[in-house]
Amino acid sequence: MIFTPKVQFIILILLLFLGIGFSFYSPLQPSVLAQQPTGSVPTVTGTPSGASVALYLDENRSQESVYSGPSSYLYPAIGILLAGQEVPAYGYSEDKNWIKIYYPGVPGSVAWVYAPFVKVVKSGALPILPAPSTPTPGSTPTIDPTLEAAFIDPVTPTRLPTFTAPAPLDAVIFVDDVSVVNRIPMGLLIFGLGFIGGFGALISFLRGR
């Protein structure tokens, strides 16, 4: 059978499309669904309702240290809070001078901040919480008694000097001079001599005239 050129061109085009179709064909295989691993989804828990508040430092303070317990002497400092930073709070210490707050990055993610340095910006009922145990020092420093004695000079007790009472002082007694009573007063004598001299000068002046 002889086909016309037009029919041959159409058959060629059909064969070309069939070849392209078979090149992408693959036998169907049953799909296998992978088994999903079973497990429990962790539940994120927060503080009890009504016991979580946000705190921020007073604007007059740039930062404040937080401690591992409600004391700056018994517990070490473990971080700082910046002015304006808000963190959740869990409760007060027994004396209500410290507040336990959420502080990530430290053991237990909790810290204690001095209550007068912060303000409660979200109302909530804060319970009274017990203080954690104080940290145990790694070693107790001791001083060698022999080494200590080498730097301490012994003090030999000496007897205090005895007190000797001074000799009694002679009291000065002033007595009135009786002889002065019978004498002429010196002022009166000077006045009399001056009067006589002036009187003599007056007579000399009058005789000179």
Q: Where are the domains of the chain?
A: 54-120
127 residue type, one letter? P
| pLDDT at residue number 42 | 45
| Non-local CB neighbours of 79 within 8 Å, separated by 6+ positions | 65, 66, 103, 105, 106, 111
Show Cβ contacts of residue 119 under 8 Å, excluding neighbours closer than 6 positions: 55, 56, 57, 58
pLDDT of residue 111: 94
b/e burial code for range 93-130 (CB count within 10 A of at least 16 → b): beeeebbbbbbeeeeeebbbbbbebbeeeeebebeebe
| Tens of each residue's pLDDT in the chain, 209 residues | 566 777 677 777 777 767 666 665 555 444 444 455 555 444 444 444 445 667 776 667 788 899 999 999 899 999 998 887 888 888 889 998 999 998 998 988 999 999 888 887 776 678 888 988 888 765 666 777 777 777 777 777 777 778 788 888 877 777 665 555 556 677 777 877 888 888 788 888 787 76
* Domain 54-120 architecture: Roll (2.30)
Count Cβ atoms below 10 Å from residue 184 Cβ, excluding itself. Answer: 8
